[in-house]
Amino acid sequence: LKEARSGSSFPEDIVKQIFSNISSVFQFHQQFFLPELQRRMDDWGSNPRIGDILQKVAPFLKMYGQYVCCFDRAMDLITTWMEKSPRFEEIVLDIQKREACGNLTLQHHMLEPVQRVPRYEMLLKDYLKKLPPGSPDRADSEKALEIIFEAAKHSNAAIADMERLEKLWEVYEMLGMEEEMVDPSNKLIKEGPILKISFRSASRKERHIFLFNNMLLYCVPKFSLVGVRFFIRTRLDMDDMQVKDLNDVEFPHAFLVSGKLRTLELQASILRYNAGVVYQLEHWDRNSCSGANSVLAGEEPLRGVPGFVDVLVFEFWLCFPVQVARQELGKRAPQLIRDKLVSMCMRCKEPFNAFIRRRHHCRACGYVVCWKCSDYKAALEYDENRQNRVCFECSSILEGQTGSRDREDKKRGILEDVKAQSTIPLLGYQVKELLPGDNRCAFQLTQSKQTLSFLAESEEQRERWAEIINQVANGENQWSLDV
């Protein structure tokens, strides 16, 4: 410090950063802890105990936490300034040559305070092992050990918190977040690359997500190795977020994240990463202080029929796990149904073509509809009450009308579609009757661990479908398509 104050070789502030609060730690030991121990050692014959002293001084050991937090930064500063300032290097080398240093480096000596609290803990444990069972010092020593253990935890927590803040700041720099968005209380839960599934072309685009304790940031990578590396496309708050693992044959390891402002279909490159992301999202979604609720498998109206969440054939809405409830229409972003999944308008059932009947999306319910059925505008709350294209039914609901065709058309749509949603080889499957009490119009196909559930419009049609599928599964070819 004297050299820093008297010269201009290196700043005084650098010295203070390197040694942090070591002077306070030194004064505590020199003026309080060491004198207490010395007096007790002198009086050991009449009062052989140290537990009471340790119990009294143990709370002050938490001051080591600040020093431990700054230790890594101090090591970096020493290395930097020894290269940057010849005078700084000269002083450090001169100190290390002194007899008191024992031919050890400055960094080695600075490591000792970091190890001090764990050493106190080990010494006290060893002391307790050697105490006689009825020793009057046992109770105080055990209490002192508990306090020292808490001090050690405090140091570890301080290190973890410092590492969290450093990582958080690195992320903020990569995102180029504005000052008002930077919150040091945030916790980064998980981050990594992801693929975004386009609802228009069903193509996949490389994206990056950052999951915090209070929000999910959906980002587009930039071609930059330094500075701002990601552009924030969407911020989804954990409040009212819904998460769903998709059972999609075309896009394995895909999952859905639905927020008020936007709904995203994402795909991980490996199952383990997908499971980790969905678990983290659902975990924080369910347990965050906002009280958000995840959409869980099996919450559809047909949850009484086993396996209905695994097959997406007869009821169209089963193909799309997160639906906007009628009372929330316009208040949260819908899942936009992929164009390639639909070959006709989901409202009027007219087939699409590339010239006069093109696909459009209702921005309230997410359905794929033709221009005629989507020739309506409505102010949507989730889009700051801006006017958006909506279908007739949603327009009617948002304007307070009944929209009576909605339920009937939704159920009828998939039965009239001219394009299969998916195909499966039937050889090896077995037709299984459902248990008494289940829906009488339903049946299942089973193979190994896979179960597919179906719902027909009547019991008679169910019997006919079951008969034909059973013939095909058994390799028979004498069957009719008249169902």
The DSSP code sequence of 243-268 is EEE---SSSTTEEEEE-SS-EEEEE-
Output the CA torsion sign for 461, 467, 473, 475. Answer: negative
Secondary-structure percent of the chain, ordered helix, strand, coil, rounded to 5: 45, 15, 40
- Global pTM exceeds 0.75: no
Alpha carbons 380 and 332: distance in angstroms, whole number? 8
Mean pLDDT of the chain: 76
The yes-or-no verdict on residue 204 having pLDDT over 70 is yes
Query: Which structure tokens are listed for 259?
Result: 């927020």
| Residue 361 pLDDT | 92
Alpha carbons 378 and 394: distance in angstroms, whole number? 9
| Listed residue (440, 426, 454, 453) closest to 307, CA to CA | 453
Residues 452 and 444 sit within 8 Å (Cβ to Cβ): yes
The yes-or-no verdict on residue 440 having pLDDT over 80 is no
| Listed residue (4, 2, 3) closest to 14, CA to CA | 4
| Higher pLDDT among residues 441 and 448, named by residue | 441
- Location of structure tokens 């929330």: 328
- What single letter denotes the amino acid at residue 80? T
The yes-or-no verdict on residue 249 having pLDDT over 80 is no
- What single letter denotes the amino acid at residue 210? F
Residues 6+ apart with CB under 8 A from 213: 186, 187, 189, 238, 284, 288
Q: How confident is the model at residue 386 (pLDDT cuts 50, 70, 90)?
A: very high
Report strand pairing: 242-245 vs 263-267.
Answer: unpaired
Residue 155 DSSP symbol: H
What percentage of residues in the chain have a pLDDT greater than 90? Answer: 11
The yes-or-no verdict on residue 70 having pLDDT over 90 is no
Residues 280 and 190 sit within 8 Å (Cβ to Cβ): yes
Alpha carbons 75 and 95: distance in angstroms, whole number? 16
* 3-class SS of residue 300: coil
Report strand pairing: 263-267 vs 188-197.
Answer: antiparallel
- What single letter denotes the amino acid at residue 214? N
- Location of structure tokens 């279908």: 391
Q: How confident is the model at residue 438 (pLDDT cuts 50, 70, 90)?
A: low
